[in-house]
């Protein structure tokens, strides 16, 4: 007997038939004696359409009202899920973000969860009721609805699992786990049975998009085991067929490289001839931070003449125009040349085993060199090496690295 949070993503609740299919999985867990909290996304495509409606009124729409609009998709699914569960013969009730409440910061459009009230939910679960919660939404201190950023239903699910001290958080999606590479690019990609939180954070930030990164951060901090599995297979979460995201200590076989990820969401910006003196980097990056623009990779060369240097960095493609505007407004850089490129891809290899194994970087660079792929920017962390390359080499690079690190053999080993 356990308390399980089960979250169903947009494709898993895309129509009534699929909602009933998802409900049947919940019923199976209930029949095994588990208490279940169900978190649902909006039916697939709905959030995008709601976002479009907002933009059609004005590009500069009020974010408080944006949240009122876009949170409605999940609200509809929650009611439908509760009905489907009732039809299947289990007690079920929906609870909207403000009713629980799930408290959030007031950053409308990308709010953070700051607290979850659990008393009433526990009471309901104890009485045998399935609790259905719309993902993606909470309530601010001012009492307004706020949403958690795109993909935020994952975060709702993990935050609830943490607050309720659930045994596990199952994330049902349209893939049956986390793979060594995107299976659409690499045919031989393998499902990874277990992956550490640290690796998953890197993979999530690198374009695998299986989980919202905030959800993995919360899972890591609160040590919530998260399982990624497909809602299209017959098994349910308790049969553990997916990928388990868990503590590093729970993983016996640590792979040097667990996966190869890519993302085409970045843009490269280079500020030329920046005076080589203290404080200049801060002058560029502080205003960008104040504009809430995320910077990813950064390189600054040592200047050869000790007078000027170039600073290159990457931002999200959809924020590059704003980043350019911010830099354009800086007094110090009125004279500086600024170059931008959108046709770049970030390719990364990730693995917890890298911490204690050398030679991953050289193998990566050699492999790319053999394919004639030029590396524009490099960045590393303890468990990740990323390179920026010309976008047209994305697939070639991913396939070559997947093979070079022997990832297609992983399962057999």
Judge contact between 72 and 108, C-beta under 8 A.
no
Closest by Cα among 24, 33, 23, 25 to 2:
33
Q: Which entry of ligand ASP, Mg ion, none binds 405, CB below 5 to 8 A by partner kind?
A: none
State both tokens at 124.
């309901």
> H or E stretch including 8?
strand 3-8
Cβ-based nearer residue to Mg ion, 9 or 97: 9
Closest by Cα among 85, 213, 226 to 166:
226
Q: Does 237 bind ligand ASP (CB under 6 A)?
A: no
Cβ-based nearer residue to Mg ion, 9 or 225: 9
Q: Which of 73, 134, 135, 151 binds Mg ion (CB under 5 A)?
A: 151
| Choices 26-34, 126-134, 149-157, 200-208 (CB under 6 A): range interacting with ligand ASP | 149-157
Q: Does 177 bind ligand ASP (CB under 6 A)?
A: no
Specify the DSSP class assigned to residue 312: E
| Choices 148-156, 194-202, 326-334, 367-375 (CB under 6 A): range interacting with ligand ASP | 148-156
Q: Which of 134, 152, 177, 351 binds ligand ASP (CB under 6 A)?
A: 152
The Cα–Cα gap between 82 and 130 comes to: 8
Q: Does 10 bind ligand ASP (CB under 6 A)?
A: yes
The Cα–Cα gap between 76 and 56 comes to: 22
CB-side neighbour CA atoms (13 Å) of 345: 19
388 bridge partner residues: 346, 377
197-256 residues in contact with Mg ion (CB under 5 A) are none
The Cα–Cα gap between 67 and 222 comes to: 27
Cβ-based nearer residue to ligand ASP, 134 or 351: 134
3-state secondary structure of 106: coil
Q: Does 150 bind ligand ASP (CB under 6 A)?
A: yes
State both tokens at 109.
């459009």
| Min dist. Cβ of residue 272 to Mg ion (A) | 39
Place of tokens 């390179």: 387
State CA 294 to chain mean position distance: 15
Q: Which of 75, 153, 205, 386 binds ligand ASP (CB under 6 A)?
A: 153
Q: Does 97 bind ligand ASP (CB under 6 A)?
A: no
List the 113-116 sheet strands across, edge first: 113-116, 102-104, 137-139, 145-147
Q: Does 47 bind ligand ASP (CB under 6 A)?
A: yes
Q: Does 238 bind ligand ASP (CB under 6 A)?
A: no
Q: Which entry of ligand ASP, Mg ion, none binds 136, CB below 5 to 8 A by partner kind?
A: ligand ASP
Cβ-based nearer residue to ligand ASP, 30 or 216: 216
Q: Which entry of Mg ion, ligand ASP, none binds 47, CB below 5 to 8 A by partner kind?
A: ligand ASP
Site for Mg ion, rule CB under 5 A: 9, 151
Site for ligand ASP, rule CB under 6 A: 9-10, 41-42, 47, 73, 135-136, 150-154
């Amino acid at each position: 007997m356990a308390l399980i949070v089960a979250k169903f993503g947009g494709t898993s609740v895309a129509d009534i038939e699929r909602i009933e299919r998802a409900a049947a999985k919940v019923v199976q867990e209930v029949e095994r004696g588990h208490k279940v909290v169900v978190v649902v996304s909006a039916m697939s495509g709905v959030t995008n359409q709601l976002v479009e409606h907002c933009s059609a009124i004005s590009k500069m729409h009020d974010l408080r009202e944006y949240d009122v609009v876009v949170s409605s998709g999940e609200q509809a699914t929650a009611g439908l899920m509760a009905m489907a569960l009732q039809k299947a013969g289990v007690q079920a009730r929906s609870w909207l973000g403000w009713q629980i409440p799930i408290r959030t910061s007031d950053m409308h459009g990308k709010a953070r969860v700051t607290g979850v009230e659990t008393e009433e939910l526990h009471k309901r679960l104890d009485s045998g009721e399935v609790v259905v919660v719309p993902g993606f939404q909470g309530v601010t201190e001012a009492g307004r609805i706020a949403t958690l950023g795109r993909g935020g239903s994952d975060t709702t699910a993990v935050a609830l699992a943490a607050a309720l001290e659930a045994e596990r958080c199952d994330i049902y999606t349209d893939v049956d786990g986390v793979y060594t590479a995107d299976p659409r690019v690499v045919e031989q990609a393998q499902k990874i049975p277990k992956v550490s939180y640290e690796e998953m954070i890197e993979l999530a930030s690198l374009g695998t998009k299986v989980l919202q990164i905030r959800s993995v951060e919360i899972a890591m901090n609160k040590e919530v085991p998260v399982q990624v599995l497909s809602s299209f297979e017959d098994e349910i979460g308790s049969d553990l067929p997916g990928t388990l995201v868990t503590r590093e200590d729970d993983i016996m076989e640590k792979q040097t490289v667990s996966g190869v990820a890519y993302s085409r969401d970045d843009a490269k910006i280079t500020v030329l001839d920046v005076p080589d003196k203290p404080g200049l980097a801060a002058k560029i990056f502080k205003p960008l931070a104040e504009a809430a623009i995320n910077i990813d990779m950064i390189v600054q060369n040592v200047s050869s003449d000790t007078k000027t240097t170039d600073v290159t960095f990457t931002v999200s493609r959809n924020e590059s125009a704003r980043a350019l505007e911010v830099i354009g407004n800086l007094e110090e850089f009125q004279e500086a040349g600024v170059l931008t490129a959108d046709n770049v891809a970030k390719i990364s290899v990730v693995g917890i085993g890298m911490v204690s194994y050398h030679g991953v970087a050289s193998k990566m660079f050699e492999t790319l060199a053999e394919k004639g792929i030029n590396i524009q920017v490099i960045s590393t962390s303890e468990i990740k090496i990323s390179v920026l390359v010309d976008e047209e080499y994305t697939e070639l690079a991913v396939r070559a690295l997947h093979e070079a690190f022997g990832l297609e053999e992983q399962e057999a080993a």
